[in-house]
Structure 1
Amino acid sequence: MVRLPLTPAEVERGKRLGAFLRRARGERSILDTALDAGVSPETLRKIESGRVATPAFPTIAAIADVLGLSLDDVWAEIKQPGSEVEPTGSGRGARERLAS
């Protein structure tokens, strides 16, 4: 299977996603966040830096869950250029917001 090159819009969306997750993580360590989400710290680092512009949905859902983010907030952040939704996560207690 050949993977098509990412469009500039996909690259930009990946950068917005990474920046949003980084802001939401705040002072929490990348190691703790990654391990709690069940991903490698290197994977989370690549997502946050925008080097992985199109991460798998389960990966983003797991990271959002750990950070207490709703998937609606994540989607709102990445779908529009220049959007600035502030992360309102409250940790693991936000699990019910991920199920819709």
Structure 2
Amino acid sequence: MVRLPLTPAEVERGQRLGALLRRARGQNSMLYTALDAGLSPETLRKIESGRVATPAFATIAAIADVLGLSLDDVWAEINRSDSTGERLAS
């Protein structure tokens, strides 16, 4: 299966997701956060750094649960308006 390149909007959403997760994790250990969410620390690191811009829903949900984030808040953050006031395409 060939994966299409990510659009600039998808890359930006991935960066926003990563930043949100890093802020929510704060000083908590990446290792324990990842293990509590049922994934590897390397996967969490890639998501937080934006290298995995479109993680699976179940992955996002597991991390959000461990960090005490609502999925509504995650969705709102990654789809917030850009600097020109336009919503990013979904």
Query: Same fold per TM (> 0.5)?
Result: yes
Aligned pairs for 1:1-80 (under 5 A) are: 1-80=1-80
Structure 2: any 5+ residue segments left out of the alignment? 84-90
Structure 1: any 5+ residue segments left out of the alignment? 84-100
Structure 2 Cα separation of the partners of residues 55 and 16 of structure 1: 13
Deviation of 1:81 after TM superposition, in Å, equals 4.1
Q: Residues 61, 12 of structure 1: CA spacing in aligned structure 2 closer, same or farther, 3 A cutoff?
A: same
Structure 2 Cα separation of the partners of residues 63 and 17 of structure 1: 11
- Deviant stretches of 4+, over 6 Å: none
Deviation of 1:82 after TM superposition, in Å, equals 4.7
Structure 1 Cα separation of the partners of residues 81 and 53 of structure 2: 14
- What is the DSSP-based 3-state SS (H/G/I as helix, E as strand, rest coil) of the residue aligned with 1:27? coil
| Map of 2:87 onto structure 1 | none
For these two proteins, the number of residue pairs brought into alignment is 83
* 1:22-41 C-alpha deviation (Å, 9 max, x unpaired): 00001100000000000000
Structure 2 Cα separation of the partners of residues 27 and 72 of structure 1: 23
Matched to 1:65, the amino acid is D
Structure 1 Cα separation of the partners of residues 81 and 45 of structure 2: 22
Q: Percent identity?
A: 86
